[in-house]
Amino acid sequence: MVEIAERAVDRRLARPDRESVPPEAVRAAAATGRRAAGQRLARPPLLVLLSGAIVLGFVLFDAPAAVRAVPVLTYLAVVPGLACVRLVRLRDRLTELIVAVALSLALGILVAEVLLQLGWWSPAWGLAVLVVIASLAASVELGRDRGWTVRLPSPRRRW
Amino acid sequence: MSSTAVAHRLAELRWPSRGRIAAVAAWSVPPVVLATGIQALTAARVTEIGPLGLVSALPPRLYAALAALTVGFVVAVFRRGGAPRALLAAHVVVLVVLLFGAAPIIEPLPRLLPGWLHVGFADYIARTGETLPQLDARFSWPGFFALVAMATRAAGMPDAMPLLGWAPVAFNLLYVAAVFRLARATSSDVRTAWLAVWLFVPANWVGQDYFGPQALNYLFYLVLLTVLLVWFRPRAFDHAHRHAHRPLRDRLSRMIRLPAPPLLSASSGNPYGVTSLLGLMVVVVVVFAASTASHQLTPVAIAMSVALLVLVRQCRVRALPVLLGVMVVGHLSYFTVPYWSGHLDEIFGSLGNVLGVLNSGAVERVQGDATHQIVVLFRVELAAAVWGLAALGAWRRMRAGDNDPALVALAGAPFLLLSMQSYGGEILLRVYSFALPFMAVLVAAHLAPVRRPRRALVMLMAVVLSAALTGAFFIARYGNESFEQVRRGDLAAVDWLYAHAPAGTSFVAATSNVPWRSRHVERYRYSTVSDDDRPVAVSAVEDELRANPSAFLILSRGQYVFGESFLGKPPGWGSALEQQVIGSGRFRQVYANADARVYVLTKKGEIRGGNR
């Protein structure tokens, strides 16, 4: 039983997204069930980039509504704001989520309104602009977490 | 890793043996209540909706399920050592689903016609890429409709109708998350925050959470104030300032026996750097810009609340109200000219006339038949009760030394809107809505923090208070369901019209309660004969049809119920009107179903569709 548990903990420690944090910090965090200080998951920005490409693909190839409705609406409601808010490194997930949703919808309103006022109305272009915004923010986060920019400690606490 | 550490870790993963049954029982409450509640709502019949609304159609099982949920939540929140946050959140989510999902589960079509109209506005923008400010004032604030148009078309949907029914549930789930964070930022006790959220849900009966700009802007309002309260309050408590010698205030404090202890919930410091705070300020400005582009009232409410926060020294960004004010005025000056150029009196006519605004917001709304008047009076009394409890809660917090100037300022700021305009008679509802999150925190002060000897009594109080609010919710929110629901027959008649009437045709109805304009807002002329309490004469209907080429008259049960219940027309006026229409010999029926009929004039009317 002890060996099984040790293997489980080792598997957790072997996750690639934890490589940037000192192993002893991760081991201590694993022992308490919490994430170590400074530990940032690389997965979310990569997911932002990937999901942007997917929803743009859906729209460009005119996928049926049954396939793309939920992913596109979810993307528009969450992802652009989340990508931007993660740059601020808020400390609790609940606040991060609600600020992300509000910011996503606000960015959507502003982009749609600009397209409307300039006479460039196109839902696909609107989505593309939001994907670009989200991807830029995700790229900045990725670059920062890989040491290309100054990195700040970001202990998170649960809400 | 040593074997002892692993064993310790494994022990943590298991339930404590003594509390295992209690934990299983606690965790089983939300899913069981959800299943029971949905089953009860599915079994309810829409035909049983009576003059008091949805409450007459709700089965007793739903009330039993909600009672169990309430008891489960109260027991969990007052548990020694605290309950898991996920457990408390699960209770809140189930409560939101059962309260705000009751109508979409029972009724076959989305309720509330303004939401249908918003779908039509978004449809127009999606088709044309333009707005129609001359058609409707709301097109001067097109942000929400443009967003919906972009999102639905990008998602491959023909329109936003699938989003209509469950929008209130989605919005309220977001609201409760923001309210929890707000409550946590203004309370020293986590129980207060949970209780505030729990009370907020049934107290939010106002019905401004349907698919529309105001629902989204309410989220903006909550999130923006959350950001300011959590990250932009004064860095540390200024003892020197607080205890400075102030003769008048000290005398007043002694007179009303106010102690002056330190703020328990004052922020003790801000660990975020300048860059992070700058980023958060950008979030505030972007969200506010979206708000000014999408709603008339909410930006004003936000600016007032922020100004009061600055005045009570609870916001460090002192220039922010000026910036927000400039943004509001800038948007009004450049983007809404078609609206205000002809309606200056409508906008500024009520400035300072608080009594007039109160009259149109409360007294004039008590109209319609006796049952509707009961519902309206019930809402007024419920709002007054919540405000009264909140005032007492503020007093209690003050006596306990947990007074928070930000909380009181934000609860009071929306009342400043009363000095501006009546907002179509809805301003009191909006004031209630904007103040509610903070009122809920103040009401929760009656229940937490709690001293150990009084725990049982406080738990009983919490159960009674939330049960009373939940019971009142169904009458206050769904009391008008007899005419706020959309009937299949009414919609079928409208569908027939769109399928058979050529563009440019006029559609005439006796009252405005018709599920039209969810598409083709610009292709047809829509008019109503009478939206007051007088019975409709057949001659007036004929004149309206003759004034328009190829006009169609639609008469439906939704209009009749709306006329009787909301407008106060005499009972049976609808069927009497229809008898006159048929008996006059000047109309010909071209479509009929159990709930609705469509007529054209026999002499000049042109029938484009087949008779039925």
pLDDT tens-digit map of B47-72: 999 889 999 999 999 999 999 999 99
Q: Would you say B433 and B208 are in contact if contact means Cβ atoms under 8 Å apart?
A: yes
Q: Would you say B492 and B501 are in contact if contact means Cβ atoms under 8 Å apart?
A: no
Residues B363 and B303 in one domain: yes
DSSP string, A31-60: HHTSPPTT---SHHHHHHHHHHHHHHHHHH
Residues B427 and B493 in one domain: no
B339-361 burial, b at 16+ Cβ within 10 Å, e below that, comes to beeeeeeeeeebeebeeebeebb
How many CB atoms are located within 10 Å of the residue A9 CB?
Answer: 17
CA distances from B170 to A83, B176, B480 (A): 21, 10, 22
Q: Is the pLDDT of residue B605 over 80?
A: no
Chain A residue closest in CA terms to B156: A65
The three-state (H, E, C) secondary structure of A67-131, written as one string: HHHHHHHHHHHHHHHHHHHHHHCCCEHHHHHHHHHHHHHHHHHHHHHHHHHHCCCCHHHHHHHHH
**Residue in B2, B87, B147, B292 to test binding to A, most A beta-carbons within 10 Å:** B147
Q: Is the pLDDT of residue B247 over 70?
A: no
**Residue in B123, B150, B174, B291 to test binding to A, most A beta-carbons within 10 Å:** B150
Residues B298 and B432 in one domain: yes
Q: Is the pLDDT of residue B410 over 70?
A: yes
The parent domain of residue B520 ranges over 487-601
CA end-to-end distance (rounded Å), chain A? 33
Rounded distance between C-alpha atoms, residue B362 and residue B518, angstroms = 30
Q: Is the pLDDT of residue B258 over 50?
A: no
Least confident of A22-26, A65-69, B578-582: A22-26
Rounded distance between C-alpha atoms, residue B146 and residue B143, angstroms = 5
Report residue A133 as tokens: 């915004």
pLDDT at A13: 43
Residues B193 and B304 in one domain: yes
Residues B410 and B270 in one domain: yes
Q: How confident is the model at residue B35 (pLDDT cuts 50, 70, 90)?
A: very high
pLDDT at B537: 85
CB-based burial of residue B14 (10 Å sphere; 0-12 exposed, 13-18 middle, 19+ buried)?
exposed
Q: Which residues of A touch B143 (CB under 8 A)?
A: 109-110, 112-113
pLDDT tens column, B333-375? 888 887 777 666 666 666 666 666 667 666 666 677 889 999 9
Report residue B177 as tokens: 């998350």
pLDDT at B337: 80
**Residue in A3, A67, A109, A141 to test binding to B, most B beta-carbons within 10 Å:** A109
φ, ψ at B423 (rounded to 5°): 55, 50
Report residue B361 as tokens: 């917001």
CB-based contact (8 Å) between A140 and chain B? Answer: no
B34/chain A closest Cα distance in angstroms? 23
Q: Which residues of B touch A8 (CB under 8 A)?
A: none
pLDDT at A43: 81
Q: Is the pLDDT of residue B256 over 60?
A: no
Instruction: Give the length of chain B.
Output: 612
Residues B392 and B264 in one domain: yes
Across the range B429-454, mean pLDDT stands at 89
Which residues lie across from B53 on neighbouring strands? B50
Least confident of A3-12, B564-573, B596-605: A3-12
Chain A residue closest in CA terms to B184: A159
**Which residues, 6+ apart, have CB-to-CB distance to B590 below 8 Å?**
B500, B552, B598, B599, B600, B607, B609, B611, B612
Report residue B598 as tokens: 């469509």
pLDDT tens column, B136-175? 888 889 999 999 999 999 999 999 999 999 999 999 999 9
Across the range A83-101, mean pLDDT stands at 91
Q: Which residues of A touch B184 (CB under 8 A)?
A: 159
Long-range contacts of B423-431 (CB under 8 A, 24+ apart): B423/B296, B423/B297, B425/B360, B425/B361, B425/B364, B425/B365, B426/B361, B427/B357, B427/B360, B427/B361, B428/B358, B428/B361, B428/B362, B428/B383, B429/B206, B429/B208, B429/B361, B430/B208, B430/B297, B430/B301
pLDDT tens column, B362-408? 666 667 788 999 999 999 999 999 999 999 999 998 888 888 899 99
B275/chain A closest Cα distance in angstroms? 8
Q: How confident is the model at residue A92 (pLDDT cuts 50, 70, 90)?
A: confident
Residues B178 and B321 in one domain: yes
The three-state (H, E, C) secondary structure of B166-181, written as one string: CHHHHHHHHHHHHHHH
For chain B, give the mean pLDDT.
87
Name the helix (H) or strand (E) containing B92: helix B85-100
Question: Helix B455-478 crosses helix B190-203 at what angle (to 10 degrees)?
Answer: 30
**Which residues, 6+ apart, have CB-to-CB distance to B102 below 8 Å?**
B41, B54, B58, B62, B474, B478
Which amino acid, A68? R
Task: Decide which of B574 and A30 is more confident.
Answer: B574
Chain A residue closest in CA terms to B221: A102
Shortest CA distance to B203 belongs to which of B132, B100, B101, B104? B100
pLDDT at B196: 97
pLDDT tens column, B193-205? 999 999 999 999 9
Residues B424 and B551 in one domain: no
pLDDT at B367: 76
How many CB atoms are located within 10 Å of the residue B376 CB?
Answer: 19
Which residues lie across from B509 on neighbouring strands? B528, B554
pLDDT tens column, B504-531? 899 999 999 999 999 989 999 999 998 7
Q: Is the pLDDT of residue A125 over 80?
A: yes
Chain A residue closest in CA terms to B227: A99
Q: Which residues of B touch A112 (CB under 8 A)?
A: 143, 146-147, 149-150
Structural domain contains residue B57: no
Structural domain contains residue B434: yes
Instruction: Give the length of chain A.
Output: 159
Task: Decide which of B611 and B280 is more confident.
Answer: B280
Residues B420 and B501 in one domain: no
Rounded distance between C-alpha atoms, residue B196 and residue B434, angstroms = 15
Q: Which strands, in side-by-side order, build the sheet including B596-601?
A: B525-528, B506-509, B552-556, B596-601, B587-592
Rounded distance between C-alpha atoms, residue B99 and residue A15, angstroms = 42
Across the range A7-28, mean pLDDT stands at 47
Rounded distance between C-alpha atoms, residue B252 and residue B166, angstroms = 50
pLDDT at B266: 41
pLDDT at B269: 45
Tell me the percentage of chain B whose pLDDT exceeds 90.
64
Chain B residue closest in CA terms to A103: B287
Which of B400, B426, B449 is the last residue in one of the domains?
Answer: B449
Q: Would you list the domain boundaries of chain A?
A: 2-32, 43-145
Closest to A105 (Cβ–Cβ): which among B5, B147, B154?
B147
A112 and B147 in contact by Cβ < 8 A? yes
Question: Helix B298-311 crosses helix B427-444 at what angle (to 10 degrees)?
Answer: 40
**What is the Cα Rg of chain A in Å?**
19
pLDDT at A58: 95
CA distances from B81 to A74, B42, B78, B222 (A): 37, 38, 9, 30
Residues B415 and B540 in one domain: no
Structural domain contains residue B126: no
CB-based contact (8 Å) between B258 and chain A? Answer: no
**Number of folded domains in chain B?**
2
**Which residues, 6+ apart, have CB-to-CB distance to B483 below 8 Å?**
B513, B558, B561, B562, B565, B566
B411/chain A closest Cα distance in angstroms? 21
Strand-strand pairing, B506-509 and B552-556:
parallel
B1 and A27 in contact by Cβ < 8 A? yes
A126 and B154 in contact by Cβ < 8 A? yes
Region of B229 please: left (phi>0), alpha (psi -120 to 50) or beta. Answer: alpha
**Cα-based angle B95, B99, B104 (whole degrees, multiple of 5):** 130
Q: How confident is the model at residue A23 (pLDDT cuts 50, 70, 90)?
A: low
Chain B residues 161-190 with a CB less than 8 Å from chain A:
162, 174, 177-178, 180-181, 184
Rounded distance between C-alpha atoms, residue A131 and residue A104, angstroms = 11
**Which residues, 6+ apart, have CB-to-CB distance to B533 below 8 Å?**
B367, B567, B568, B569
Q: Is the pLDDT of residue B259 over 60?
A: no
CB-based contact (8 Å) between A42 and chain B? Answer: no
- Chain-centre distance for alpha carbon A18: 16
B437-474 burial, b at 16+ Cβ within 10 Å, e below that, comes to bbbbbbbbbbbbebeeeeeeebbeebbebbbebbebbb
Residues B221 and B273 in one domain: yes
pLDDT at B346: 65
Structural domain contains residue B77: no
**Cα-based angle B253, B259, B261 (whole degrees, multiple of 5):** 130
pLDDT at B160: 95
Closest to A105 (Cβ–Cβ): which among B149, B178, B216?
B216
Give the dihedral of Cα atoms B552, B558, B559, B560; nearest 10 deg.
120
Q: How confident is the model at residue A18 (pLDDT cuts 50, 70, 90)?
A: very low
**Residue in A98, A118, A154 to test binding to B, most B beta-carbons within 10 Å:** A98
pLDDT at B172: 97
φ, ψ at A22 (rounded to 5°): -55, 135
Residues B281 and B416 in one domain: yes
pLDDT at B264: 41
3-state secondary structure of B42: helix
Report residue B574 as tokens: 């609808």
Chain A residues 19-38 with a CB less than 8 Å from chain B:
27, 31, 33
Chain A residue closest in CA terms to B181: A95
**Which residues, 6+ apart, have CB-to-CB distance to B420 below 8 Å?**
B300, B350, B351, B357, B427
Report residue B397 as tokens: 């917090």
Report residue B227 as tokens: 């950001």
CB-based contact (8 Å) between B247 and chain A? Answer: no
